[in-house]
Structure 1
Amino acid sequence: MDAHPSDVLVIENEADCPPGLLADVLSRAGLTMHLHRPYRGDQLPADLGTFEGLVVLGGGMGARDDAEHPWLPQTRRLLALAVDRHLPTLGICLGAQLAAIALEGRIGRREQPLVGLTSIALTDDGREDPVLGAIDSGALDGDGGSGPAVLSWNQDTVTGLPPHSTLLAKDEDGGIAAFRTGTSLWAVQFHPEVTAQVVGTWARTSDLTRAGAEPEAMAAEFAGVPQVVAAGTALLEAFAQQVLTD
């Protein structure tokens, strides 16, 4: 299908990591989501053609697991092309790690997974950023004492920023939670797109779920903190606005 000026290419790397809130946000903004599922055999485009935005979602695989997931090299290539084109781009979790590799940054692995509700700390650049700045509210403790509340689910992580990148947020242990490369690529280690249903699925299927965790309880905990969805929605809406105005 040919792309049109309102089209956003979204790459889904596995069925358990769907677009979630992103689908509704793009639709409300008048943007058309072109969802490619290469794990089901969808062929990724050779280039970005006339797409006006790119989103790469998460996944349980590693960002260098090319042998088992042969579409990953092309995904990294598209991320690099997007930066060259100054195309508004969002990498989420695995997508952030793929972007880091594609742009000559570094990734590594935490000693312990970062799973569940957590807070991030926006840098001064993050608070002024047109996308990350949209979530500079909604602290987990409700009194502004901690940063915006987010949902994290990762053990692999970005450990070194690519050249020409700006740190936008840190996680609770000081690691990289979000960065921007150039003026048009945003990468976040947390999940702004997630829903309570997806959290329940991950709690059942993910290798990172802590022993003894109850999927229903984890989904209910997420649903009980509405500022997490509000923050994620605000970030996605701000990204959609970048696509519209680019």
Structure 2
Amino acid sequence: MNNFRKLSDKHPDLIHSPLLRAATLTLRYVEDNGPIGLTKTKAFKRVFVQWAVENFDWPNRSPEDLLRYKKVLNEYDFPPLELLHFLLIHLRLGRHFKGEFHLTKRGAALAKTPGKLFDELIPFYVLQMDHAAYSRFDDRPFGSWDVWLNVINVEADQGSTERDLYAAFYVDGADQGNTGWRQLSAFSACVLRPLEWSGLIMETHEKTADSRNVHHVFKTPLWRSALKLDTDDMLEPVQMH
């Protein structure tokens, strides 16, 4: 199952993808500055981690927030970079050689073609990664990407909340108190976070009068551009102004 469309290198909606932006910046960094140094555990050295934190412009992870409690950061302190490092190696866009991260020929070529890089990176990340490995409890929500994408396509078309989306799949009343908090956490980590980091959805956060945190979910323009789904004919037409 691959519901992703191929996008041109100049497609304007590609700017919504944090992971694509981070990958492009990393590949071009190596082109401009040479290989990235690695630690003994084959993680990126701190000097590049610092550069990534300052340049990735990652949603909800500003440099100030990340550096609030630590003066220096390791790769594992910035999970998007740790994930990106894995993806670049796994997809053979980069390789480790003599204590450094080098680009492959494919990686160098894709650094110049963001549409092709998106097609190489994002469908694999969303559809084939084991997202539970990056979740808090290693829990996996029941379901499939075909179902999740088609239902979210409709439920979040005008915006929704994290709990309402969870309830649409699993539990009536999941937005009451702390009902199903661990299952909700797994759903967020394994479904919503990959979509957000890919740039297909965006989340905003609000604190209610009773001090509850509400996570609002919206589809980005990239969702409609990049995905072709069975439920598309159920959506309201996009209003042009």
Q: TM-score range by the shorter chain?
A: under 0.3
Higher helix share: 2
TM-score, normalisation: structure 1: 0.27
TM-score, normalisation: structure 2: 0.27
Structure 1 or 2, whichever has the larger Rg, is: 2
